[in-house]
Structure 1
């Protein structure tokens, strides 16, 4: 029982509020500093933003690719794309204000239509166990199954360069993880019926 009382006394001493002075004697600056100190102590500090969020544009995405020494292209529709580890990724902007960033990748191989059910099961398992990327399968006009990864983020209020970089790397790295899992599950020749 003595240990508990000692702990309770220490807790009361730590959580006891500081003596309060007359409110009229505390100026706004001091009050602001006290609240800031309390927030830093309770929540931890945060680095000041180096730049305010700005709208995402194809030019910013292309600049990010160049800064990271990634090769990219612009297709006939004006969409940015590139190959990462032999896999095709596109970077789309959707929405009325082009505020939704989507990083969409496609696996570099196709599967036989007879494997559709097992690929759909794999995509459902992936989506149930992970946040990113969304995984889905499409059947092309030629009857072949093609698997897609997708990471989409609403950036209505823009993004800093650091935030944009994190989102783009997230789309590429998690898409690559999905495609690595597919490579492991379906060694060549995956295009033949089971």
Structure 2
């Protein structure tokens, strides 16, 4: 096989004549790289608008303010936990983690289930969890043998959240929890809610 002339070879395979100094390679400056990345992102994603609000730490006071702004009733229990009723179901709003950066919205179905139905309720929870991201559905068996059905949405907010982000997370926890409880209501209708 005949050797290719240098001008047809890729630059990294070209021979240098002895004594030729290597050609200086110009690296782009940080400003040029930044400008190239900005142009690429603008072309692919569209032009980003400046944020009008920066994320802030989530606190019980911000959650309570959101509840008040949306005309939801809420309370603070003896342990200092913030809770409220949403469509007749009890929900709590917890902040966990070393810096209270994990927001958890935990709802409890408004009725109890007999222990004899535990297996079928666990099956319902597993089906829900297999098909959906939110909420995480599970049960708790109390000391009296009654089963409580729980829905939970947890989000790591290490970098905080804007008011709009916090609102979306709170609505997500409440609405998806309610959807799960509606499914439980369909499976186990309230006997007192039907005409005798």
Residues in 2 aligned to 1:35 and 1:117: alpha-carbon distance in whole angstroms: 55
1:129 is aligned to 2:131: yes
* Structure-1 separation of matches of 2:147 and 2:36: 61
CA distance in 1, matches of 2:74, 2:153: 18
| 2:169 match | 167
2:86 counterpart residue number: 84
Answer 1 or 2: higher relative contact order, Cα 8 Å, separation at least 6: 1
Counterpart in the other structure of 2:147 = 145
1:66 alignment partner in structure 2: 68
Q: What RMSD in Å do the two structures reach over aligned CA positions?
A: 2.2
Measure the CA separation in 2 of the matches of 1:47 and 1:106. 40
Say which one has the larger Rg: 2
Match of 2:97 among 84, 95, 98: 95
Partner of 2:12: none
C-alpha change, 1:93 and 1:129, in structure 2 (3 Å) is same
- How far is the alpha carbon of 1:37 from its aligned partner? 3.7
Q: TM-score, structure 2 length as denominator?
A: 0.78
SS in 2 for 1:163: helix
TM-score by length of 1: 0.78
Partner of 1:119: 121
Give the corresponding residue for 1:57.
59
Structure with greater helix share of residues: 1
Q: C-alpha distance in 1, partners of 2:121/2:47?
A: 45
- Matched residues, number: 166
CA distance in 1, matches of 2:76, 2:123: 34
Gap regions ≥5 residues in structure 2? 1-25
CA distance, structure 1, for counterparts of residue 123 and residue 158 of structure 2 = 34
Gap regions ≥5 residues in structure 1: 1-22
